[in-house]
């Protein structure tokens, strides 16, 4: 009994240390410098404007953009709700917009840590999975864990589905079925149909493992299906009532036409490139971890540990099914995001099997630990170095100066900006990322409006960051100018030059 008590005390100590390391890694990989760069163009900027408008107009059902129901982004508003709540706590800034993504990414790491520890009572293997996830380049890169996009939140709820359904299928405990259903609902509330993309793999697993009949014989399964239909169907119905035509737009821009790359609002490249995601994972997004995955799969296939092999086959089937689904349709480089927790769990199981096999062969625990660390530690170091430019060494790329120059001025020069009653923003192209800062400037007393740079009223003050617009202004107006960061200029327009 004394030995057992000492072992339990020792395990709790290692569990605490492992969890502390996870939290420290999570802080530096997910939250450090998260607000250094201004909002990115396209999705993040648009999400931020929609959240800002929900924050100000109080309509929590319909996402708005430019004070009109959003006619481009048709996803349900769960992310937007989180961003509004974040703005209420942290203010209207980049941190508030990105905090939900970062915190759900941390929750994902904690979830797989907790799951693996409970399954195998080994805090180190649980920690390895979390560290693999938190140092995966693609997971930290654009559009996932560190930006104000839908994918980090989606990944959390898909990972929750993965884990809770496995626990339900293994135990027949209806609590896990309820948790799975809740995760399914919230994933759908986050990114629509993408929240269902693990279901085909789960179905294949049930058939493969001969558990389908057992699942279908549980009447609570049908109650959960009903709950899902009422919750998700209820939202879409209310949204259609509030904004007629919404369901048609969802079909066109979120479902089959988008998947087949025939939607009117979206055109994607690489549609027929079926190796697009595998190549990206191998070359960059999951390198170098992916280089040892083939060895890990061999070890796991030869495992005699029934518990390890059962989870391995479940994760593998769902991962492959998901990869086939996204590889067959329209492509976005970040669509592979849900694979990172799957791959992290697979690698953790691989290291666990490597440790167990080495221990069985040598009969020495220390040799098994050293062998495992000799492979894991260099990969962790290399991954940490690769992700430094996303965390510790963030810099604005030169090719983004024209896109982001105005944002830096509006964000970082509040005192100078407050001296202006009006500021015209001369920018050509999609500008949601700038509109967020323009709205904040207007709230703070400077009326910031987008202007047609070919028809600027004089006298006025105008900001421009694009060379094309700067050249037009300097050729066609009488002005004085002040240079700002990233090649941006503030123009005091005095008059239009007379025609020759």
Check residue 270 and give its pLDDT. 62
- Residue 106, pLDDT > 50, answer yes
In angstroms, the CA 500 to CA 490 distance is 26
Q: What is the pLDDT of residues 3-54, one digit of tens each?
A: 334 456 768 899 999 999 999 999 999 999 999 999 999 899 999 999 999 9
If you count them, how many residues does the chain have? 500
Mean pLDDT of the chain: 94
- Residue 64, pLDDT > 50, answer yes
Q: What is the pLDDT of residues 230-275, one digit of tens each?
A: 999 999 999 999 999 999 989 888 888 777 777 766 666 667 789 9
89 Cβ partners below 8 Å, 6+ apart? 96
Structure tokens at 269: 């490249």
In angstroms, the CA 221 to CA 218 distance is 6
Q: What is the pLDDT of residues 323-374, one digit of tens each?
A: 999 999 889 999 999 999 999 999 999 999 999 999 989 989 899 999 999 9
Q: What is the pLDDT of residues 206-228, one digit of tens each?
A: 999 999 999 999 999 999 999 99
Q: What is the pLDDT of residues 271-308, one digit of tens each?
A: 778 999 999 999 999 999 999 999 999 999 999 999 99
pTM: 0.95
Check residue 256 and give its pLDDT. 80
Q: Which residue has the higher pLDDT, 392 or 7?
A: 392
């Amino acid at each position: 009994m004394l030995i057992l008590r000492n072992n339990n005390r020792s395990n709790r100590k290692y569990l605490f240390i492992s969890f502390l390391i996870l939290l420290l890694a999570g802080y530096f990989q997910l939250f450090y410098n998260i607000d250094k760069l201004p909002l990115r163009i396209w999705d993040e900027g648009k999400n931020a404007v929609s959240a800002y408008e929900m924050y100000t107009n109080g309509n929590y059902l319909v996402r708005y953009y430019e004070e009109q129901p959003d006619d481009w982004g048709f996803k349900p508003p769960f992310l937007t709700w989180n961003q509004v709540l974040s703005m209420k706590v942290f203010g209207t800034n980049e941190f508030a917009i990105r905090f939900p993504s970062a915190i759900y990414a941390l929750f994902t790491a904690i979830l797989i840590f907790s799951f693996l520890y409970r399954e195998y009572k080994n805090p180190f293997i649980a920690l390895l999975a979390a560290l693999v996830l938190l140092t995966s380049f693609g997971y930290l890169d654009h559009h996932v864990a560190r930006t104000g996009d839908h994918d980090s939140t989606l990944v959390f709820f898909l990972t929750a589905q993965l884990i809770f359904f496995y626990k339900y299928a293994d135990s027949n405990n209806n609590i896990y079925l309820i948790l799975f259903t809740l995760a399914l609902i919230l994933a759908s509330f986050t990114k629509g149909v993408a929240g269902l993309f693990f279901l085909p793999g789960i179905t294949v697993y049930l058939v493969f493992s001969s558990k389908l009949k057992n699942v279908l014989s549980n009447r609570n399964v049908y109650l959960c299906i009903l709950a899902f239909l009422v919750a998700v169907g209820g939202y879409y119905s209310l949204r259609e009532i509030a904004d007629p035509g919404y369901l048609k737009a969802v079909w066109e821009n979120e479902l089959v036409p988008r998947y087949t790359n025939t939607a009117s609002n979206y055109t994607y490249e690489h549609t027929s490139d079926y190796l697009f995601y595998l190549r990206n994972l191998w070359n960059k997004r999951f390198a170098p971890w992916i280089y040892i995955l083939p060895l890990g799969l061999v070890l796991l296939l030869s495992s005699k540990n029934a518990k390890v092999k059962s989870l391995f086959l479940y994760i593998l089937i769902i991962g492959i099914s998901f990869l086939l689904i996204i590889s067959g349709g329209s492509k976005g480089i970040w669509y592979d995001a849900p694979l990172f927790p799957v791959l992290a769990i697979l690698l953790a199981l691989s290291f666990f099997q490597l440790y167990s096999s080495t221990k069985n062969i040598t009969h020495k625990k220390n040799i098994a630990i050293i062998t495992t660390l000799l492979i894991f530690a260099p990969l962790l170091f290399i991954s940490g170095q690769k992700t430094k430019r996303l965390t510790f060494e963030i810099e604005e790329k030169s090719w983004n100066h024209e896109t982001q120059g105005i944002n830096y001025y509006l964000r970082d020069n509040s005192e100078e900006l407050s001296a202006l009653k009006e500021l015209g923003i001369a920018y050509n192209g999609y500008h949601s990322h700038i509109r967020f800062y323009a709205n904040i400037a207007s709230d703070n007393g400077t009326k910031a409006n987008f202007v047609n740079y070919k028809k600027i009223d004089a006298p006025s003050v105008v900001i421009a960051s694009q060379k094309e617009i700067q050249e037009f202004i300097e050729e066609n107006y009488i002005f004085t100018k002040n240079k700002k960061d990233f090649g941006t200029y503030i123009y005091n327009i005095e008059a239009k030059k007379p025609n020759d």
